[in-house]
Structure 1
Amino acid sequence: MPRTKREKEVSLTKVKKKTKEAKSGMINEVKHCAESYENLYVFSVDNMRSDLFLEVRQHFKANSRFFFGKNNVMAVALGRTKEAECQKNLHKMANSLKGQRGLMFTNVPDEKVIKYFEEFRHKDFARGGQVATETIELSEGPLPQFSFSMEPQLRKLGLPTKLEKGQIELYKDFHVCSENETLNAEQAKILKILGIKMSEFRFVLHKRWQRSTGKILEIEE
């Protein structure tokens, strides 16, 4: 009986080789950027949204380059020690790559970069696992913003609802969430239904390096 495609064996040595080549390629790209761009920023992203991150990339497409998500590889490329750094003082930037952080190489003047990210903030609905920014309580009584057909959905999410003459009502007060509480999936869904946005996508710039001088600037949040 012939073997199916699902049973096809894959050489693990080839997979490892490909991964090694990818890391090597990224290291070379980071080093090339360190030689080509005037400014380098270490950044993090609050409440990541891939579509908004793509929008940032597109905005700076003509004069910048972003690397995100592989701290160890980026740190090796910059150089973890003074002896290994590819440009003056870059080992200090490499050592600040902790947690979910990335690199932005750019020729855009510093004041324009900072101004852009100060203004580029987008409110969004929180997801399960994020922290509530305020306390939300619903009082007993009618919920006129919802059509009667949503009553089963609200009840399924735990709201004490009933239909009264075709209108949804809470038959007792309901606590949705508390400030600084970690939201679960149900709470996040309730907040979305209520139209309450507690999440904000934003770039946080931590450090800036200038190639022409080798100076590093700590950026106040």
Structure 2
Amino acid sequence: MPRSKRSKLVSLTKVAKKTKDQKNVMMKELQEHSEKWRYCWLFEVGSMRNSHLKTVRKLWKDSARIFFGRSAVMAKALGTTPEEEHRQGLYKLAKQIKGQVGILFTDTEPQEVIDWFADFQQPDYARTGNLASRTVILPAGPVMRQYSDPPEPFPHNEEPQLRKLGLTTSLNKGVPTLSVSHKLCEKGKPLTSEQAQLLKLIGEKMVVFRIGLIARWDSTTGEVVQIESLGIVSLQDKSNRDGEEDAMSE
């Protein structure tokens, strides 16, 4: 007997997989750009946020091309062995493409690239599972929104949400108020969903989006230079990666 259509389960979180044709297109683009630009950089991201990566793309759109997608596809496009490499020496870079990394093609001089990415940082709100970068204690009294200038108390209609997230607040003259101080989070410990939401509500940004350069391939020599650690991507950043992935470059 055929199954009733009314009993069919539909997943609302299902994401369409990339087709073979789409992967081939990306591989072809990577190979074409490896022939167009002098340098190919491999980079990693700390505290990944698509919005900030789009900012980097925009700022470099006239002088570079950025790819951030499936590492296996990018590695295969460049070739991970001397026999498979698309251009001389590229396999030395390709074999390092693992995990959440991206590729940047550019003609910009290396020191300028290094200096730019060392300086680029974008503070953002932490998410569930991120490690608290500092201890936050809410003092007794009105619960304040720190992102306001000057800070201002929460409105009365948000008091139920604050209580739901773990604060023992009460309304005092229409203002959500703590009778005693509350330790919201402790430095070095993973954040719960409730803690992450509270930090965002009060305006406390605990993570920093950064891009760390790993290695650089030079098309004129075929050589790959490893980039010494700049301290851009911390161990905490690496452990807190979200698994977000952009499809590929614009």
Percent of aligned pairs with the same residue?
Answer: 40
Residue of structure 2 equivalent to 1:71: 71
Q: How far off is 1:138 after superposition?
A: 2.3
Secondary structure of 1:123's counterpart equals strand
Alpha-carbon distance in structure 1 between the residues aligned to 2:140 and 2:58: 47
3-state SS in 2 of match to 1:43 = strand
The SS at the match of 1:99 is coil
Question: In the alignment, what sits opposite 2:59?
Answer: 59
d(CA) in 2 for partners of 1:73, 1:193 = 39
Is 1:218 the counterpart of 2:203? The answer is no
Provide the secondary structure at the position in 2 that maps to 1:163: strand
Is this contact kept in 1: 2:126–2:206, CA < 8 A?
A: yes
Aligned to 2:24: 24
CA-atom RMSD, angstroms? 2.3
In structure 2, what is the Cα distance between the partners aligned to 1:96 and 1:63? 24
Spell out the pairing of 1:142-157 with structure 2 (5 A cutoff). 142-143=142-143, 145-146=152-153, 147-157=155-165
For residues 61 and 175 of structure 2, the distance between their equivalents in structure 1, rounded to whole angstroms, comes to 51
Q: Deviations over 1:164-189 (max 9, x none)?
A: 34443212332211112221221111
Provide the rounded CA distance (Å) in 2 between the counterparts of 1:166 and 1:80. Answer: 64
Amino acid at match of 2:27: I
Unaligned runs of 5+ in 1: 1-14
Segment drifting more, 159-168 vs 195-204: 159-168
AA aligned opposite 1:126: A
Structure with more of its chain in helix, by fraction: 1
Aligned residue type for 2:165? L
Q: What is the Cα deviation at residue 122 of structure 1?
A: 0.9
After TM superposition, the score normalised by the length of structure 2 is 0.76
Task: For residue 130 of structure 1, report the CA deviation from its aligned partner.
Answer: 1.9
1-structure distance, mates of 2:174, 2:19: 60
Larger radius of gyration: 1
**Alignment length (residue pairs):** 208
- Structure 1 residue 48: Cα displacement: 2.1
Write the letter of the residue equivalent to 1:214.
Answer: G
Q: CA deviation at 1:132?
A: 1.1
Using the alignment, how far apart are the partners of 1:59 and 1:171 within structure 2?
Answer: 48
> SS of the residue aligned with 2:19?
helix
* Alignment partners' CA distance in 1, 2:142 and 2:68: 47
What does 1:192-207 correspond to in 2, within 5 Å? Answer: 192-207=200-215
5+ long unaligned stretches in structure 2: 1-15, 145-151, 231-250
Measure the CA separation in 1 of the matches of 2:32 and 2:175. Answer: 64
2:180 is aligned with 1:164: no
Give the alignment's TM-score, normalised by structure 1: 0.85
Identify the residue that residue 12 of structure 1 maps to in structure 2: none
| Superposed counterparts of 1:111-150, under 5 Å | 111-143=111-143, 145-146=152-153, 147-150=155-158
Q: 1:150 deviation in Å? A: 2.9
Following TM superposition, the consecutive aligned residue runs of length 4 or more in structure 1 with deviations greater than 4 angstroms are none
